[in-house]
Amino acid sequence: MKGLGVKALGQKGAATERKPPRPGRSRWGLLALLAWTLGWGGILSPGEPGLAEEPLRHAALFSVEERPEGILVTNRIPWPGATEEMAWLLQPAASADALPGIPGARRVRVPVSRVVVTSMPAVACMEALGALDALVGVGGGRYCYSPAARARAPVEVGPAEGMGAAFDVERLMALSPDVVFAYAYTAEERAGLDRLEALGIPVVLASEFLEETPLGRAEWIRFFALFLGRQREAEEFFDQVDRHYQRLRLDLASVDHRPRVMAGTPLAGSWHVLGKESWLGLLIDHAGGSYVWGDIPGRRAVYMDAEAIFAKGAEADLWIHCGPWLSREQALREEPRAALFRPFREHAVWNNDARSFPGGGNDFYEGGALRPDRILEDLALIFHPERFPGGTPFYYRPLLSEDRR
Amino acid sequence: MTFPPESPRGGPKIPSLPSREVLSRDVWRWAAMALIGAVAGGAFVLHLGHGAVALSWGEVWGILLGSGQGSSQDIIVWQFRLPRAVTALAAGASLGVAGLLMQTLFANPLAGPYVLGVDAGASLGVALAVMGLEVMGPSWEALATAGSFTAAWVGAALVLLGILSVARQVRSGTVLLLVGILFGFAANAVVSILVALAPSEKVHGFITWSMGSFAAAPWPRVRLLLLGSLGGLLVAWGLAKSLDALLLGEDYAATMGVSPGRARRRVLLATALLAGSAAACCGPVAFLGIATPHLCRGILRTEGHRWLIPSCAAAGGALALGADGLTRLPGGAVLPLNAVLALVGVPVVAWVLFSSAREGGAS
């Protein structure tokens, strides 16, 4: 499969090879230079002057606004069900003391150089931006896939299970992080993070997982880049991802045959099924597939009766995302009725765990959050192998028998 | 703790000559038992006929008689609806009778497999089978999978033994309940450690089981459930007379020729088989064990186990089928089983507690 070369942006040293500003931005560069000369030292944009206001293309849940006080970053829905947005005022470390704040916005001195991360897509963002040097701690390290991040052996600050917001506060305090990139699924988890803020540790809640589209999720690299002072790298990275995705989507829009695709695994007799407008539903559609649960509206997941699943999925052509099943034998041990589905009988089951550690991280949910184009390319290869002769999926692998794994 | 006045304890009357009153009471009990059985049978049939996919009664009946083999309708009935209905019926019957046995054994109206930690013991057994052995090495996986039922039986029996040994030392019903809850905490603590240590793919299997469902079990597990349930029910039925005697106290039971020690061991065996089988097949299922016996006592107005054992089996099955039916929403969406059962069971438990409190509080 053809590579994009986007990953190169994340390689060590790439961050320092900054390209000259594009012609349209020279005006901003001059203004920023003037401001710096006047002693404002990067007030307008602490990282790349002017890039903070590059309009967002797909992400709908965060916004960026340049203010005289600094860059105001707002997360509109910081956790599922949140009724209040959260905002951070990013101010250059050199001049933050001289700058006023904005009511309701948490002040963060940027660029941050000591970061603790509990959300694995944030780790992937740091790697892609060449900012792993700033990673000093991680919550839920067992779920981290990135070999580069693991090699840095960041301090584990999460609970034993590696999930949730129950941090080891002493370890966290000892790390003196500039910021904690965290996530919360519930108001309780959100309240737990307040404790860290009370101790003076800025917590940045990311919620890329709530974005409605795959590209919307991927664009959150620009959110993290604002804190890391890597806006230009983020812009270039996302630009390539966006273009590649759109090109693939356009190519696949005219496919003659759309295979019927089912997804998921049963949980306690019922199935967790995503709606047709979910990120998965969109990816299947954009990759030239026909989602068998395309009649379920919206993007949220619903629990469906196994009988209803069988009625729709029994004659599907392909089965993707079979969760924790590592082999056909394991699938049959946990759910013998898997064999009633045609894709299982015809060995057309693909799981998104080609890049994963047993019992640990899975790059699909880490790096894949930034690379929907690569996921799309994988799915297109699985759905339409005739279009990609000799290709091998990056994140996916077929569900095989134990003796063939 | 005493039984509520609505279900006075006093053991079965053994009249030398059946009076008119006794006869009419027995007729009422036979009628009530038949009604409960009919409700269970009706719930079973309704369960088979109702589902996410629209099938007519004629189609379902035809499929059960062998028509349309290999069709998707045939698979839906034989592989999804029938095992689910049989699971609900058998697990409900098992839990209902297990709850009855425990309430008699511990002379406590709030005893039940879920409340006294027997489910937690079974849960620990299954967790050890599914995850613990896997932590030691992948070669144990086959043994772990095959042994989940045995592990649940052993786990349930061990917790029962523990509570029974405490019950011999402590007579207070409240203390006994607290000990049961403590056993449950301890078992759940070990389960939590296993979950933290086990690989995520193993955790998924356990989490799936621990959510509690009648819909998850395929035929091989349903067959084991049937085996354990029928075995437990037969042992329980054989104990009906001894259980009646135990209601009057161990000393009195001994004068009636019942060996309390032997009876306790058999009750323990039956309860472990019943509660362990249901837990191994369906995961922890709340409230059925505690609520069903009270419901049957209330309807039949008796403490006699020859009435209560079959009634609890039928009523437990009917309640389980009814609750499972309520989890299925139009369009194929589902609700969690234990949430629905809690909505049914909480009022019953609250009623027992308030009744006991009116009687003078827990003893």
Assign residue A347 the CATH number of its domain: 3.40.50.1980
Residue B12 included in any domain: no
Return the residue of B nearest to A362 by Cα.
Answer: B200
Return the residue of A nearest to B70 by Cα.
Answer: A340
Are B109 and B100 in contact by the 8 Å Cβ rule? The answer is no
Residue B175 included in any domain: yes
Return the residue of A nearest to B328 by Cα.
Answer: A305
Residues A258, A140, single domain; the answer is no
pLDDT at res. A98: 84
Asked if A303 has any chain B CB less than 8 Å from its own CB, the reply is yes
List of chain A residues with pLDDT < 50: 1-47, 49
Q: Before A159, cis peptide (omega within 30)?
A: no
Return the residue of B nearest to A331 by Cα.
Answer: B205
pLDDT at res. A131: 96
pLDDT at res. B146: 59
Asked if A151 has any chain B CB less than 8 Å from its own CB, the reply is no
Residues A59, A91, single domain; the answer is yes
Among candidate residues A104, A205, A124, the one with its CA nearest the CA of residue A369: A124
Residues A22, A119, single domain; the answer is yes
A266 with B216: Cβ contact below 8 A: yes
Quote the number of domains for chain B.
Answer: 1
Are A241 and A142 in contact by the 8 Å Cβ rule? The answer is no
Does this complex have an ipTM over 0.90?
Answer: no
Asked if B333 has any chain A CB less than 8 Å from its own CB, the reply is yes
* Intra-chain end-to-end CA distance of chain A, in Å: 21
Residues A34, A168, single domain; the answer is yes
Enumerate the residues of chain A whose CB falls inside 8 A of the CB of residue B79.
Answer: 310, 337, 340
Partner-chain residue, chosen from B198, B199, B213, that has the shortest CB–CB distance to A268: B213
Are B131 and B203 in contact by the 8 Å Cβ rule? The answer is yes
Task: Return per-residue pLDDT of chain B as tens, 363 residues.
Answer: 443 343 444 444 444 556 667 667 788 889 999 999 999 999 999 999 988 888 999 999 999 998 878 888 999 999 999 999 999 999 999 999 999 999 998 888 888 888 788 888 888 888 887 776 554 444 444 444 457 788 888 888 888 888 888 877 776 667 777 888 888 888 888 888 887 777 666 676 677 777 888 988 888 889 989 999 999 999 999 999 999 998 888 788 888 888 888 888 888 889 989 998 998 888 888 889 988 998 898 888 889 999 999 999 999 999 999 999 998 887 777 888 888 888 877 887 777 767 766 765 443
Residue A235 included in any domain: no
Residues in chain B: 363
DSSP for A1-35? ----SGGGGGSTTGGG-PPPPPGGGHHHHHHHHHH
Residues A195, A269, single domain; the answer is no
Residue B309 included in any domain: yes
pLDDT at res. B144: 47
Residue A236 included in any domain: no
Residue A241 included in any domain: no
Residues A337, A272, single domain; the answer is yes
Partner-chain residue, chosen from A269, A302, A314, that has the shortest CB–CB distance to B333: A302
Return the residue of A nearest to B213 by Cα.
Answer: A268
Residues A282, A348, single domain; the answer is yes
Quote the number of domains for chain A.
Answer: 2
Which residue in B200, B203, B207, B209 has the most chain A C-beta atoms within 10 A of its own C-beta, making it the best mutation to test that interface? B200
Enumerate the residues of chain A whose CB falls inside 8 A of the CB of residue B85.
Answer: none
Residues A182, A286, single domain; the answer is no
Residues A20, A105, single domain; the answer is yes
Enumerate the residues of chain A whose CB falls inside 8 A of the CB of residue B332.
Answer: 304-305, 307-309
**Nearest chain B CA: its distance from A223 CA (Å):** 30
By residue range, what is the domain housing residue A373?
253-404
Rounded distance between C-alpha atoms, residue B205 and residue A342, angstroms:
23
Q: And the tokens for B135?
A: 């932590």
Taking the mean position of all CA atoms in its chain, how far away is CA B148? 18
Enumerate the residues of chain A whose CB falls inside 8 A of the CB of residue B211.
Answer: 267-268
Return the residue of A nearest to B72 by Cα.
Answer: A311
Residues 243-302, chain B, touching A (beta carbon < 8 A): 283
Residue A243 included in any domain: no
Asked if B13 has any chain A CB less than 8 Å from its own CB, the reply is no
Report the SS3 class of residue A399: coil
**Nearest chain A CA: its distance from B76 CA (Å):** 6
Cβ-proximal residues to A198 (8 Å cutoff; 6+ apart), any chain: none
Rounded distance between C-alpha atoms, residue A367 and residue A120, angstroms:
8
Distances in Å between the Cα of B206 and the Cα atoms of A162, B128, B132, B211 are: 18, 10, 11, 9
Asked if B230 has any chain A CB less than 8 Å from its own CB, the reply is no
Residue A245 included in any domain: no
pTM of the model: 0.77
Are B217 and B225 in contact by the 8 Å Cβ rule? The answer is yes
Rounded distance between C-alpha atoms, residue B218 and residue A332, angstroms:
10
- Quickly count: other Cβ atoms within 10 Å of residue A367's Cβ: 26
Q: Are strands A135-138 and A290-291 parallel, antiparallel or unpaired?
A: unpaired
Residues A107, A225, single domain; the answer is yes
Distances in Å between the Cα of A376 and the Cα atoms of A121, A247, A283, A379 are: 18, 11, 6, 5
DSSP for A87-115? EEEEEETTTGGGS---TTEEEEEES--SE
Residue B11 included in any domain: no
What residue has token string 């600094």?
A70
A303 with B196: Cβ contact below 8 A: no
Taken in order A105, A106, A111, A117, is the CA torsion positive or negative? negative
Residues A291, A158, single domain; the answer is no
Asked if B205 has any chain A CB less than 8 Å from its own CB, the reply is yes
Residue A272 included in any domain: yes
DSSP for A188-239? HHHHHHHHHHHTT--EEE--GGG-SSHHHHHTTHHHHHHHHT-HHHHHHHHH
Distances in Å between the Cα of B205 and the Cα atoms of A331, B82, B130, B142 are: 10, 23, 8, 14
Asked if B54 has any chain A CB less than 8 Å from its own CB, the reply is no
Q: SS3 for chain B, per residue?
A: CCCCCCCCCCCCCCCCCCCHHHHHHHHHHHHHHHHHHHHHHHHHHHHHHCCCCCCCHHHHHHHHCCCCCCCHHHHHHHHHHHHHHHHHHHHHHHHHHHHHHHHHHCCCCCCCCCCCCHHHHHHHHHHHHHHHHHHHCHHHHHHHHHCHHHHHHHHHHHHHHHHHHHHHHCCCHHHHHHHHHHHHHHHHHHHHHHHHHCCHHHHHHHHHHHCCCCCCCCHHHHHHHHHHHHHHHHHHHHCHHHHHHHHCCHHHHHHCCCCHHHHHHHHHHHHHHHHHHHHHHHCCCCCHHHHHHHHHHHHHCCCCHHHHHHHHHHHHHHHHHHHHHHHECHHHEECCHHHHHHHHHHHHHHHHHHHHHHHCCCC
Of the residues A197, A230, A263, the one at which a domain ends: A230
Are A323 and B81 in contact by the 8 Å Cβ rule? The answer is no
Residues A226, A282, single domain; the answer is no
**Nearest chain A CA: its distance from B284 CA (Å):** 12
Asked if A307 has any chain B CB less than 8 Å from its own CB, the reply is yes
Q: And the tokens for B181?
A: 């809850």
pLDDT at res. B139: 43
Rounded distance between C-alpha atoms, residue A395 and residue A364, angstroms:
6
Partner-chain residue, chosen from B207, B218, B332, that has the shortest CB–CB distance to A308: B332
pLDDT at res. B23: 67
Domain containing residue B63: CATH number = 1.10.3470.10
Of the residues A170, A196, A230, the one at which a domain ends: A230
By residue range, what is the domain housing residue B261?
20-359
Residue B3 included in any domain: no
